[in-house]
Amino acid sequence: MSAHTDPYARTEPATHVTPETEFDDERKTKIKAQLSEVLDPCSCMSEHPIDIVDLGLVESIGVDGRDVEITLLLTSQRCTYFLDINDEIRERVESLEEIDSCEVHQDTSGKIWTNDRMSAAERKARRKRFHERMEAAGITPYAERSD
């Protein structure tokens, strides 16, 4: 890897909604902003909560007139917090003046969430926190111990 290569940069364009995703439709931009306020419930149990857009859970945003459909690819098909996430998304999106209704669906296509769906900034921050915890504990990662 060259010194200029960012190990967190995507090699292919994301197929899901990311913090960098731009829309031609102003409503989708406003919806994405609302989704960026929804925190992943599991991450709220840590010192570093992360929103569902940064985590890479938002598969798609569909708008048909004044109706919205959000599809999520959850970190687990058995996520027990889906109903809570659904309720918060609906409340936030339906609070927008130009939206009448919002439906939230879970992607059941068989795709699997992987950490490469996270935003590059969040993956960097997560890795930095990991190294700080390792250093504070006086632990050298295995890969660095090998000669």
Q: State mean pLDDT over 5-23.
A: 77
Q: State mean pLDDT over 137-143.
A: 77
Whether 6 maps to a domain, the answer reads: no
Distance of alpha carbon 141 from its chain centroid, rounded? 27
Whether 1 maps to a domain, the answer reads: no
Whether 89 maps to a domain, the answer reads: yes
CA distances from 20 to 2, 15, 23, 48, 121 (A): 24, 12, 10, 21, 11
Residue 57 sits at φ, ψ, to 5 deg, of -85, -20
Domain that holds residue 138: 26-145
CATH code of residue 105: 3.30.300.130
- What does the pLDDT read at residue 1? 45
Whether 3 maps to a domain, the answer reads: no
